[in-house]
Amino acid sequence: MSAVTLDMTAVRARFSALAGPIAFFDGPGGTQVPDSVIEAIAGYLRESNANLGGPFPASLASDALFVQAREAAARFLGASVEEVGFGANMTTLNFALSRTLGRTLSAGDEILVTRLDHDANVSPWLELARDLELSVGFVDIRDDCTLDLDDLRSKLSDRTRVVAFPWASNAVGTLTDVRRIADLAHEAGALAWVDAVHYAPHGPIDVVAANVDVLLCSPYKFFGPHLGLFYGRREVLERWRPYKVRPAPGEPLAHRFETGTQAHELLAGLLAAFAYLDGLGWDAVVEHERDLGRRFLDGVPAGVRLHGVPTMDGRVPTFALTLPGRSPDEVASLLAEREIAVWAGNYYAVEVMKRLGLPDGAVRVGFLHYNTTDEVDRLLAELASLV
């Protein structure tokens, strides 16, 4: 593979799951994984399955794996090794980290969330507000599903402690201006708290350049196993008292916020996923996905309604659609019969669907670098037949 062009035959050969007839446009709910990830998980369980801290070979190998996984995760996020940690998934981590932050908050403090967010970056704050008598404000979105930064500015105050927002919408594909939002949050003395779950498979992340304080993502959304991954700025983590068992070590810094034994075999799979992505190169991934997205947008059949940004500028290739006279569930089921996998519903993006007036949600189509132009054309033809 070159730095700018993907060899699609070679890419798809890495995934046994792609050998069949199904066109997988369900990636926003979880991607397929290359065979190397599967083999790494099985290899760990066969050869070095043990807990940490022992003097025997399997435990020593697990110790080394943990170090390697943390180093690779730090490179993936543009962070230091001490600033990254693991957990079950983004939602579980966000509930845990928000409660840890809650130890520093007082009644009357304010959290701002957005109507673009997945509920995993909304409900933890709503529940924390109930516990601590905080207030939660919602930053609105425009009709094209872009975040309204003027509304954000108007809602920031000297009581704002956190601005929680997505890097990309899991429902309609909108990208946010992460650096601008983080700067606005910091000007108000608040933390910039980012859900990067949906963005992570689509482009590079650099937490330093983005100037964010906390970032969470889920490797099973970027070709890895079911895990959660977080970054916390060193200066922020050093101020927090963690919820942890007493014998657990306090170093590296982010390890203090990892509760219980981690899923070591999945860390082995995560290492393989990082290696796979390193072999692709982000330039090639971004360009291929933009090509797929443009092909789709140029061919959306008359009568199919697209909700969100109508071009590939300011978005990732995730699209929310509705078809006249058919429910999202019906459309998804009919496409499944035609061996095309898509999602229907609200995909936990509750506020987006309320804002769009879609009580039944929408059909969600998501393209990834392993999808092909032929698959996009198949989808367009089937949508046309359903209108």
The answer to the question of residue 32 being in a domain is: no
Boundaries of domain holding 180: 40-276
pLDDT digits (tens, 9 = 90+) for 316-350: 999 999 999 999 999 999 999 999 999 999 999 99
Question: Do 235 and 314 belong to one domain?
Answer: no
- Cβ within 8 Å of residue 330, ≥6 positions away: none
Domain boundary among 276, 304, 327: 276
Domain match, 233 and 314 both = no
Do 124 and 181 lie in a common domain? yes
- Last residue in a domain, options 247, 276, 305: 276
pLDDT one-digit tens code per residue, 17-54: 999 999 999 999 999 999 999 999 999 999 999 999 99
Q: Is the pTM of this model over 0.85?
A: yes
Are both 317 and 232 inside the same structural domain? no
- Alpha helices by DSSP H, 193-281: 207-210, 234-237, 264-280
Q: Please, are residues 280 and 77 in contact by the beta-carbon 8 Å criterion? A: no
Residues 154 and 200 in one domain: yes
CA distance 98 to 155: 21
Q: Helix-strand-coil percent breakdown of the chain, rounded to 5?
A: 45, 15, 40
Confidence grade of residue 246 (pLDDT, cut at 50, 70, 90): confident
Q: Are 34 and 11 in contact (CB under 8 A)?
A: no
What does the chain come to in residues? 387
What is the average pLDDT value for the chain, to the nearest integer? 97
pLDDT at 4: 66
- Place 201 in a pLDDT band, splitting at 50, 70 and 90: very high
Q: What is the CATH number of the domain that holds 356?
A: 3.90.1150.10
Let me know whether 84 and 19 are in one domain: no
Do 185 and 302 belong to one domain?
no
The larger pLDDT score, comparing residue 165 to residue 244, is at: 165
Same domain, 272 and 288: no
pLDDT in tens, 103-128: 999 999 999 999 999 999 999 999 99
User: Does one domain contain both 112 and 203?
Assistant: yes
- The region of weakest confidence among 8-17, 171-180, 237-246, 301-310 is 237-246
Is 3 inside a domain boundary? Answer: no
**Element containing residue 164 per DSSP (H, E):** strand 160-166
Q: What percent of the chain has pLDDT over 90?
A: 96
State the total domains in the chain: 2
